[in-house]
Chain A
Amino acid sequence: MRFVDEYRDAEKARALSAKIASLCEPGRSYKFMEVCGGHTHTIYKHGLEDYLPESITLVHGPGCPVCVIPMGRVDDAIHIAEQPEVVMTSFGDMMRVPGGRGSFFDSMAQGAAIRMVYSPLDALKVARQNPDKHVVFMAIGFETTAPSTAMTVLRAAAEGIGNFSVFCNHVTVIPAIKAILDSPDLRLDGFIGPGHVSTIIGCRPYEFIARDYGKPLVVAGFEPLDILQSIYMLLVQLAEGRSEVENQYARVVPWAGNLKALRVISEVMELRPYFEWRGLGFISHSALKVREKYAAFDAEQIFEIPGSRVADPKACQCGEVLKGVLKPWECKVFGTACTPETPIGTCMVSSEGACAAYYNFGRFSRERVREATR
C-alpha cells in the first residue's frame, strides 16, 4: 500500500495540509462532497483524510457509473441477453453488478451470451464478425463515456450495420448534483468537481451551483496533490465569502469542454424525461436515450423491455452512501455480509465505489499513519 509520503511532492502535500489547517475557522466544521468515484478512490488509497483537520469531512458522491445503475435495469439487460441470437456486451465493471436476478456473470453461467469489451467499438466489431447474431452494447457511464457510445452508433450507421444496438443507460452528472443540493438530508459547504466528466462538459454547467446555491465548486484532478489543492481552493473561497466555479485541473479540462463530443452526444441522444438512479430514486432529465433518428440502433426499440423495478435489498444502504448521508463503514452489512467478493450493493462492486475503495484501502490508513508519525 502506498501512503501520502510515498507519492511525488510529499513536501508540497505537507505544506498544503498546513495551509488547509490554517484556513479553517475555529469552531466551524466543513463538509465537501467529491462527486466522482475516481476521487473517492484516491482519497482512500492515499489516506488523504488523515492529512485534513478533523473539522473537514469529505462526503462521497454519486459519481460512480456502475453504482447508480438500479437493479431493475440489470434485470432488463439480462432479459435482452437471454433472447435468441443475442450477444450482450459491456465493460468489465458491469459484470458483477447485482440485479434482482443476479449479475451478468451469474447469467453467463446459466448460458446467456455475454461478453466483456474494452470499448463500444469492440462491441461493434463483435457485430461485424457475427452477422447471424444481434449484438447489444450495455452502455453505462456519465458524460465521460457517452460520446464514445454516440460515436460508435454513428460508425454503425455509416457502415450500415444492421445487427448492432445500444441499451442506453448513460446518466448526466448535473441533475444528480442538483438532487443532492435539494435533498434535506445533507448540508454541504462545497464540491470537488469531477475531472474527466468535465473534459467533456467543461466548467460552465456547474455555474448554477455557485450562483443559485451559493456553494463553491472546484474541478479537480485525480492525484492526491490535486485533491488537497482543490480543498485548499474551496477553503480560500469560503474564507473570502465567494462561491465560484474554479478549475484546478485546467491542464486537462478546457473551460468550454469538448465541443465535438457534446455535438456528437446531442446528435445521437436526447434526455429522458426521468430515470431511476440506484439509491437516489427517479431524477428528472438525468439520463440519455437514443434519438428516434437512430432507432435502428436502440435496443429499447428493438426488444420488448420488461421495465423491471426491483427494490434494493433491505440490508443494503447504498442509497445513503451514494447521497453521502452515510459513510461506507456505517452501513449495517459493510465488510460482513457485503464484500467485494460477494457484493450486496453496487458501491461494493466497482473500484470507484465508496464501499469498495474504503474496504480495500481505508480501514487501515488512520492506524498506519499514526504508527508512521509516532
Chain B
Amino acid sequence: MCLGIPGEIVEILPDHADLAKVDVSGVRRAINIGLLENERLQPGDWILIHVGFALSKIDEEEARAALDFLEGIGQAYDDELAALRESSIDRR
C-alpha cells in the first residue's frame, strides 16, 4: 500500500480545487495535486501518486523507469491499478 505510482498529468481540472486528470498506465483518473501547490503543474508533467494524492513531481525518465519496474512486479501493481480504477474523487 506504500506504492508510489507515476502518472502523467493530462489536464488540470478547472472546476475542482486541487484536482488534475492523470494517466497512470492507461487508467485516467482525478488525482489531488494540492500537496504540490508550489510546483505549478502543467499537462505533460509527471507526478508520483499515492492513495489519490501527488507526493512529488518527477522527471519523465524517472517516471518511465519506475513504470517499467512496477509493471514487472506484477500482482501488487495490478492490485493498485484495479483500486485506482474504482476511484472517482472528482464525482460528487
CB under 8 Å from chain A, chain B span 42-69? 48, 50-53, 55-56, 58-59, 62, 65-66, 68-69
| 0/1 string, B1-45, CB within 8 A of A gives 1 | 111100000000000000000000000000010111110000000
Task: Name, among A91, A195, A251, the residue most crowded by chain B CB atoms within 10 Å (CB to CB).
Answer: A251
Chain A residue at smallest Cβ distance from B75: A351
Q: Tell me, yes or no, whether A51 is within 8 Å of chain B by CB.
A: no
Q: Complex Cα distance A199/B2, Å? A: 12
Considering only CB atoms, which chain B residue lies closest to A254 in the complex? Answer: B56
Contact status of A8 and B68, CB under 8 A, knowing A65-B1, A118-B52, A120-B51: yes
Q: Is chain B's interface secondary structure helix, strand, loop, or mixed overall?
A: mixed
How many residue pairs link A and B with beta carbons under 8 A? The number is: 131
Check B55–A199 contact: CB distance below 8 A.
yes
Whether A145 pairs with B35 at a CB distance below 8 angstroms is no
* Residues from chain B with Cβ under 8 Å of A351 in the complex: 75-76, 79
Q: Is A134 an interface residue (CB 8 A)?
A: no
A252-B62 CB under 8 A given contacts A141-B1, A223-B69, A258-B55: yes
* Chain A residues whose CB sits within 8 angstroms of the CB of B37 once the complex forms: 260
B35 partner residues in chain A, CB cutoff 8 A: 147, 151, 258, 260-261, 264
Query: Is the pair B34, A251 in contact by a Cβ cutoff of 8 Å?
Result: no
The answer to whether A148 touches B53, judged by C-beta atoms less than 8 angstroms apart, is: yes
Q: Report A244 CB to chain B, min CB distance, Å.
A: 23
- Please pick, from B1, B34, B84, B88, the residue contacting A352 in the complex, using a CB distance under 8 A: B1
Q: Report chain A residues within 8 Å CB of B87.
A: 117-119, 121-122
Number of interface residues of B (CB under 8 A): 37
Which B residue sits closest to A92, measured CB to CB?
Answer: B83
Complex CA distance for A258 and B35, rounded to whole angstroms: 8
Known: A125-B89, A125-B91, A351-B75. A119 touches B56 (CB 8 A): no
Taking the closest CB of chain A, its distance from the CB of B84, in whole angstroms, is 6
Please, which residues of chain A bring their CB within 8 A of the CB of B86?
116-118, 122
Inside 8 A of A128's CB, which chain B residues have their CB?
Answer: 92
Task: Indicate if A370 sits at the interface (CB-CB under 8 A).
Answer: no
Q: Which of A16-24, A35-43, A322-330 contacts B (4 or more CB under 8 A)?
A: A35-43
Using CB atoms and an 8 Å cutoff, list the residues of chain B in contact with chain A. 1-4, 32, 34-38, 48, 50-53, 55-56, 58-59, 62, 65-66, 68-69, 72-73, 75-76, 79, 83-84, 86-89, 91-92
Q: Which residues of A contact B (CB under 8 A)?
A: 2, 6-8, 36-38, 41-42, 45, 63-66, 91-93, 116-122, 124-125, 128-129, 140-142, 144-145, 147-148, 151, 195-197, 199-200, 222-223, 251-254, 258, 260-261, 264, 350-352
